[in-house]
Amino acid sequence: MASRIAAGEVVERPASVVKELVENSIDAGATEISVRLEKSGVSLIRVSDNGEGMAPEDLTLAVERHSTSKLRTEEDLFRIATLGFRGEALPSISSVARLDIVSRPATAPTGQRLRVDGGRKEEVHAAGAAVGTTVEIRELFFNTPARRKFLKSPATELSHICDVVNRMALVFPAIHFRLQHDGRNVADYVSVRDPKDRLRQVLGTDIAGNLAPFSWCPDDIGIRGYLSVAPVSYPNARYLFTFVNRRYVRDKVLTHAVLQGYNTLLMRGQYPAVVLFLEVPYNEVDVNVHPAKIEVRFQRQNEIHGAVAQAIHAALKDVAKAPSAPPAFAERREFFHVRESPLPYAHASAAKLPSLNAREPFAVSAQAPAEADGFFSSMTVLGQILGCYLVCVSANGLSLIDQHAAHERVAFEKLRRQLNAGAVEKQNLLIPQTVELTAGEALLLERKLAVLDRFGFVVEPFGPNCFAITAAPALLPEGDYVQTVCRMIAELAEVDESEKLRQHLEERLATIACHSVIRANRKLEPDEMRALLADLDRTDHATQCPHGRPVLIEFSRDDLDRLFKRLV
């Protein structure tokens, strides 16, 4: 019983089993690791490697609690170079599943098999096997139904496993990783020499293409990796990977340091893509804080924080100086950086106001159009200033309209009407656009194709981890939709249940709306200005949200009088 409770700490879900088994294979010096799953790992997880294997006597020891071959002296505990060291994983896993290990060291003519069923160990038998180890876990949590109940949807569990394999793959590019699910190849990362090639395999060429290498090694700390050149950014930290001494960790200090390095180059709520490999003397990191070793504690926390932030900052400065950024890339930058509010909840004054009094001292009052027009249409546009504001005379006085916010809001409301009526109107693309994804994202996307379809994006499978966008919302101007779709996938990845998904619909619409609108700093023709005002009148004002940027700022007579100190 005690072992089952302890197992909960290490073995939380199928992905934790995969992590422990793959770590063991890496510690055994394997150059080929193959993971096979059935039913998202709940029915079967099989990890095979070509590592050093175990001698028969070690095989029985391996499933004993606190038996590890990796710490020989007490001092070893303070310089842990292997991924495992606690001797907890195999016994924990074997207490909540059916375990079957076949292992053969290079020196032995055959392999040996050991079965453990819910903690009960059987005799070791000879078994034919290649050099290396295969660990098979069946029916995970068969004897702990409560834990089983806590598992998320199969797609989510599977994507967690993909995340685990991807992280390992990023930090061990020389190892060939294979991942199969229900007989299908999910990932096949052949061994590469250049780590940049591994980034391409794991993250896809779209994301990897935007990553620049960086490296800085002050004193005994090594800070290396790859970072996205601002302002390409992502709505969450999915592509922020931090490794300490080749161990994937989630650490607030490191994440904070990375974001601080980007400083003002990222907007609030936006994240970069960064793969950070930090090397610190082994005796200065405590990896014993968390059972799954995913958190660490640094002895020189402040120093490390400062060094990482500094390294990122300096790298970004260097990249900015390099004149080699291709033009296609420069275009993409803008794509992400225009939007400022999380949602186009812009204000617009809804009230119908009395028409201008003829005696009002506005030079343009005579041109104020008939009352029959809507509030916005009845404005007189004096012109556009600073490339982004329309200066208008309204019944109330002087009005400034932010053309970007206005367009965004109009597009958002149109999309919302279309979505509420069934689906966003789409148009077929003459040339389909291809999107490359990570293995985990591809699996998630497959299950979200119908959702994307409702948003007006028709996305079809197009080779391994590759998809083709064949139609896009009719409202979108022609262009590159890959970033929009990638962004939506990243956002959808955070949402599992369909109930929650509904809550997120409007936010997804905002993403599309943002990409559909006229960018700031574009000169509008007079008829475009009028069309925009007419559109605003047709836009539902009733559903305003008190947050976000305003579309309209009005200066009434009183406001102006106060500004000119005529009124106090």
- The Cα–Cα gap between 323 and 55 comes to 58
Least CB distance to Mg ion at residue 102 (A): 17
Q: What share of the chain is helix, strand, coil (3-state, %, to 5)?
A: 40, 25, 40
Of 84-92, 109-117, 138-146, 478-486, which segment contacts ligand ADP by CB under 6 A? 84-92
Judged by CB under 6 A, the residue of 16, 25, 166, 242 near ligand ADP is: 25
Tokens matching residue 177: 């990783």
Judged by CB under 6 A, the residue of 16, 24, 201, 270 near ligand ADP is: 24
Least CB distance to ligand ADP at residue 150 (A): 23
Closer CB to Mg ion, 103 or 270, in the complex: 103
Least CB distance to ligand ADP at residue 221 (A): 26
Give the full edge-to-edge strand order of the sheet including 458-461: 426-436, 466-473, 458-461
3-state secondary structure 378-431: CCEEEEEECCCEEEEEECCEEEEEEHHHHHHHHHHHHHHHHHHCCCCCEEEEEE
- The Cα–Cα gap between 391 and 190 comes to 60
Q: Which does 70 bind (CB under 5 to 8 A by kind): Mg ion, ligand ADP, none?
A: ligand ADP
Least CB distance to Mg ion at residue 91 (A): 10
- Does 508 contact ligand ADP by CB under 6 A? no
- The Cα–Cα gap between 436 and 439 comes to 9
- Does 54 contact ligand ADP by CB under 6 A? yes
- How many residues make contact with ligand ADP (CB under 6 A)? 22
- In one letter, which amino acid is 208? A
Least CB distance to Mg ion at residue 23 (A): 5
Residues of this chain that bind Mg ion (CB under 5 A): 24, 84, 89
Backbone φ and ψ of 356, nearest 5°: -60, 135
β-sheet bridge partners, residue 47: 35, 135
Of 52-60, 296-304, 390-398, 423-431, which segment contacts ligand ADP by CB under 6 A? 52-60
Shortest Cβ contact with ligand ADP: which residue?
84
Cβ–Cβ under 8 Å, residues 244 and 296? yes
Crossing angle of helices 14-27 and 154-171, in 10° steps, is 20
Of 21-29, 114-122, 309-317, 444-452, which segment contacts ligand ADP by CB under 6 A? 21-29
Closer CB to ligand ADP, 17 or 202, in the complex: 17
Cβ–Cβ contacts within 10 Å for residue 60, how many? Answer: 17
Cβ–Cβ under 8 Å, residues 251 and 240? no
How far, CA to CA in Å, does 326 sit from each of 205, 323, 331, 332?
Answer: 15, 9, 9, 10
Judged by CB under 6 A, the residue of 13, 19, 86, 104 near ligand ADP is: 86
Residue 414: closest CA among 508, 529, 509:
509
Q: Which does 54 bind (CB under 5 to 8 A by kind): ligand ADP, Mg ion, none?
A: ligand ADP
Least CB distance to ligand ADP at residue 47 (A): 7
What angle (nearest 5°) sits at the alpha carbon of residue 59, between those of residues 53 and 63? 120
Q: Which does 559 bind (CB under 5 to 8 A by kind): ligand ADP, Mg ion, none?
A: none
Judged by CB under 6 A, the residue of 14, 41, 56, 87 near ligand ADP is: 87
- Does 49 contact ligand ADP by CB under 6 A? yes
Closer CB to ligand ADP, 133 or 233, in the complex: 133
Of 78-86, 211-219, 406-414, 474-482, which segment contacts ligand ADP by CB under 6 A? 78-86
Applying the rule CB under 6 A, the residues between 453 and 482 that interact with ligand ADP are none
First to last CA, the chain: 78
Shortest Cβ contact with Mg ion: which residue?
84
Least CB distance to Mg ion at residue 294 (A): 14
- The Cα–Cα gap between 183 and 37 comes to 8
- Does 84 contact ligand ADP by CB under 6 A? yes
* Phi-psi sector, 182: left (phi>0), alpha (psi -120 to 50), beta: left
Cβ–Cβ contacts within 10 Å for residue 45, how many? Answer: 24
- Does 133 contact ligand ADP by CB under 6 A? yes
Applying the rule CB under 6 A, the residues between 89 and 128 that interact with ligand ADP are 89-90
- Does 69 contact ligand ADP by CB under 6 A? yes
Q: Which does 25 bind (CB under 5 to 8 A by kind): ligand ADP, Mg ion, none?
A: ligand ADP
Least CB distance to ligand ADP at residue 12 (A): 16
What is the torsion angle, in degrees rounded to the nearest 10, for the CA atoms of residue 332, residue 337, residue 343 and residue 345? -120
- Does 70 contact ligand ADP by CB under 6 A? yes
Judged by CB under 6 A, the residue of 13, 17, 20, 104 near ligand ADP is: 20
Q: Are strands 44-49 and 426-436 parallel, antiparallel or unpaired?
A: unpaired
Q: Which residues bind ligand ADP (CB under 6 A)?
A: 20, 24-25, 28, 49, 51-54, 58, 62, 68-70, 84-90, 133
